Amino acid sequence: MVGLFSRAIVATTMKMPKWFVGWVSKRYVAGPDLDGAVKVMKRLQSEGACFTIDVLGEEISSMQEAEYFLSEYVNVISAISDNKLDANLSIKPTAFGLLIDKKAAMKNIEKLVSLANEHDMFVRLDMEDHRVTSDTIQVVIDLHEKGFTNVGTVLQGRLFRTIDDINKLEKVLATKADYRICKGIYLESESISHTKNSKIVEATNSCIDRMLDAGAYTAIASHDIPVIEHALSSLKARNMGPNIADPRSNASPQRHHKGPGYEFQMLLGVRGPMRRKLSKQGHRTRVYIPYGEKWYEYSIRRLQENPTIGTQIAKAFIMPWTNRP
């Protein structure tokens, strides 16, 4: 019943004027520009959070558009440094031209990763749909071969191939492999992915275990209680946790601005109470901060991907004082 109510709220919201969607999105998007993102991070850092910043936009239609993203991320690096923020970057490879010109896209991404490396910042390559899974992983491998180890990728638990990808990267990158593992937001075909939630959760949990056993840095990006509880149990079983040096014999030394072999990640505006609880327990928690002119497209996509968000919209109306991300 709650699910049907939530979906009805979302369906109605998507038909509302843009200004209304903008009101709803304030919880999940830092704003249309970098200044807004900086303000949000300054506010949330008092809660013990660190951040990863995403300039909204993906799959460009020309390489000229990639110049905007490269330039904007350079501004992001400057803003992080100038404001002494504990933050890194999240980029979408298609925004840098991966589906148009792989070589040119690689040059763009390398420029950014190189600059970030000079500022001791990490760059996360967001994982998009199945068309670019292999290419995104290859970009990470190629950059590591060039000496840039301040870059890692996202893997999606729902895909059948993910365990094989973890095994491959363990062989190629050894303990320098650094992941964000999530269930996956792209609704892929049942021929290449799990489609039932219980199977997706089970597969994601298996990926967390495999990453931890491989000695990799494991960023657990989930708002699902079963996934978070499994991760906490898996960490405890490996004697990993807050204020404990990574005990895994096959792990690399802890990187600056990273946790002891793991961290938890959540989207801005989602599961705030859970994030604060994990932070108070001593776990490193990172908030995904999206901003940019494409806020409307991002908001609509989030509503489509997560119809259960409707209950939060209703709560914001009825009890606005509780609408704290």
Are the CB atoms for 89 and 124 separated by under 8 Å? yes
What is residue 290's three-state secondary structure?
Answer: strand
Summarised one tens digit per residue, pLDDT across range 122-171 is: 999 999 989 999 999 999 999 999 999 999 999 999 999 999 999 999 99
- Residue 186: pLDDT band by 50, 70, 90 thresholds? confident
Three-state DSSP at 96 gives helix
In angstroms, the CA 44 to CA 242 distance is 20
207 contacts 155 by C-beta, under 8 angstroms: yes
d(CA 175, CA 171): 9
Domains of the chain in start order, with CATH, are 1-27+307-325 (no CATH), 30-291 (3.20.20.220)
- The whole-number pLDDT of residue 318 equals 43
Give Cβ neighbours of residue 273 (< 8 Å, ≥ 6 apart): none
